[in-house]
Amino acid sequence: MIEFTNVDKVYPNKVKALENINLKIENGEFVAVIGLSGAGKSTLIRCINRMHDITKGSLIVDGTNVGRLKGKEIRNFRKKIGMIFQSFNLITRTTVIKNVLVSFVPELPFWRKITGIFSKDHKLKALTALDQVGILEKAYNRVDQLSGGQQQRVALARTLAQNPDILLADEPIASLDPVTSKQVMDDFRRINQEMDMTVLLNIHHVEVALEYADRIIGVRGGQVVYDGPANEATDEVLDYIYKGNVDEVKQELHEEGAYV
């Protein structure tokens, strides 16, 4: 479970990106975070794997107090949390399988890191992950020969190879066309349903969020203004989430209180 209690996030430049966040996300949920640009969606997601530190409150992930982790504990913790980015973050001039094998590097003995020799077990895990996202036949192709959607699937396979409990995705379809976006979202759905993995993604395409997620979290001016089932996110709710520019909204929220 992911549990935010009274969480604030203030960046060093004094921007308050999150304010009094209270959320509980149960294992196995499929959740989409939506909201205007600058609302705080990325910040919310990136606090979960400690890419950003929270400033106030507590954030507990599967019993671990994320804010208290140090050094090696952070690296071990991150193994349980997969992260997918808009830009895929792949090494494009090498093969697909090497990109997936990279996920095992932190756990390799020094000599294997230097020689780049991976065990049979690691290769098998990498190939299994590629099979899970339907691109096993591309294993020995160079990444720069793949389409954007295929590259996102390689990124997904690299994350799955770590066998995480939670899958976070920061704008995973932002640079993909509608058809490819659908394929990638179908992958997320299958992973969520078949592997019972929690999926939490931040997304600009509202209609895609409503189609795939069970639960919608609407963020506005750094606050959660809607948290409920996708099928109850009516036009009125969406209007409220997407109302106004972020600075005006922050001021307004202080005056009127949040939607939920």
Which residues make up the interface to ligand ATP (CB under 6 A)?
11, 13, 15, 17, 35, 37-43
CB of 219 to ligand ATP, least distance (A): 6
CA pair distance 104, 117, nearest whole angstrom: 11
Contact between 207 and 194 (Cβ < 8 Å): no
Contact between 203 and 171 (Cβ < 8 Å): yes
Contact between 51 and 67 (Cβ < 8 Å): no
CA pair distance 115, 182, nearest whole angstrom: 39
Q: Give the full edge-to-edge strand order of the sheet including 2-10.
A: 16-25, 2-10, 56-61, 64-65
Task: Return the number of the residue (96 or 217) whose C-beta is nearest ligand ATP.
Answer: 217
Give me 48's structure tokens: 């979960």
CB of 15 to ligand ATP, least distance (A): 4
Task: Return the number of the residue (36 or 97) whose C-beta is nearest ligand ATP.
Answer: 36
CB of 78 to ligand ATP, least distance (A): 19
Task: Return the number of the residue (81 or 96) whose C-beta is nearest ligand ATP.
Answer: 81
CA pair distance 59, 49, nearest whole angstrom: 10
CA pair distance 156, 33, nearest whole angstrom: 19
Task: Return the number of the residue (45 or 135) whose C-beta is nearest ligand ATP.
Answer: 45
CA pair distance 119, 147, nearest whole angstrom: 29
CB of 43 to ligand ATP, least distance (A): 3
CB of 82 to ligand ATP, least distance (A): 19
CB of 188 to ligand ATP, least distance (A): 18
CB of 67 to ligand ATP, least distance (A): 17
Task: Return the number of the residue (18 or 81) whose C-beta is nearest ligand ATP.
Answer: 18
180, containing H or E segment: helix 178-194
Task: Return the number of the residue (40 or 218) whose C-beta is nearest ligand ATP.
Answer: 40
Please tell me the number of Cα atoms within 13 Å of 24 on its side-chain side: 2
Task: Return the number of the residue (15 or 117) whose C-beta is nearest ligand ATP.
Answer: 15
